[in-house]
Amino acid sequence: MLATKRAKELIQTGNFKNVDADAVYIGVIPQSEITRTDRTIILITDVRTDLALDGNLDFHALDKEVEVQIFYALNADDPDEFETSLIHLFVRNGWTMLDNHGHTVDPKTYQVTQTYYFDYFEIKK
């Protein structure tokens, strides 16, 4: 399964009170959502897929990384509790958090944003 799809499905199972399940997108945010600041939107993009566990002239695993960008609604609560729950959700489901880029504020919309990088190691048969 594509890592982006796996990550989206995982986030949607989290039942987060401040993120609608239909506000999680893969690859690109739809044009109709670009200017919305009234709800929190998550964008998941593919970063890389590396071959792993080389042996016998073949590979036996894939190491997949995704970027998870969060664009908070202007009226969103403090994101700390949500972000902690999100990280726990990924880690408890076999992902590793590789990096985060801290909170920034979009200069046009004034939305707080956060970017995480998660890695999923998948054994192939």
| Sign of the Cα pseudo-torsion (106, 35, 47, 44, in order) | positive
Place of tokens 């999923």: 120
Give the mean pLDDT of the chain: 94
Would you state the pLDDT for residue 58?
84
**Residue 124 clears pLDDT 90, i.e. is over it:** no
**Residue 94 clears pLDDT 90, i.e. is over it:** yes
Which tens digits make up the pLDDT trace of 22-63?
999 999 999 999 889 999 999 999 999 988 888 887 889 999
Cα 8 to Cα 25: distance, rounded to the nearest angstrom: 7
Reduced to 3 states (helix: H, G, I; strand: E, B; else coil), residue 114 is strand
Would you state the pLDDT for residue 82?
96
Check if the beta carbon of residue 48 is closer than 8 Å to that of residue 64: yes
Would you state the pLDDT for residue 51?
87
Which tens digits make up the pLDDT trace of 95-105?
999 999 899 99
Would you state the pLDDT for residue 20?
86
pLDDT (average), residues 6-35: 93
Q: Does the pTM of the predicted model rise above 0.85? A: yes
Cα 101 to Cα 1: distance, rounded to the nearest angstrom: 26
Q: What residues pair up with 66 in beta bridges, in sequence order?
A: 46, 118
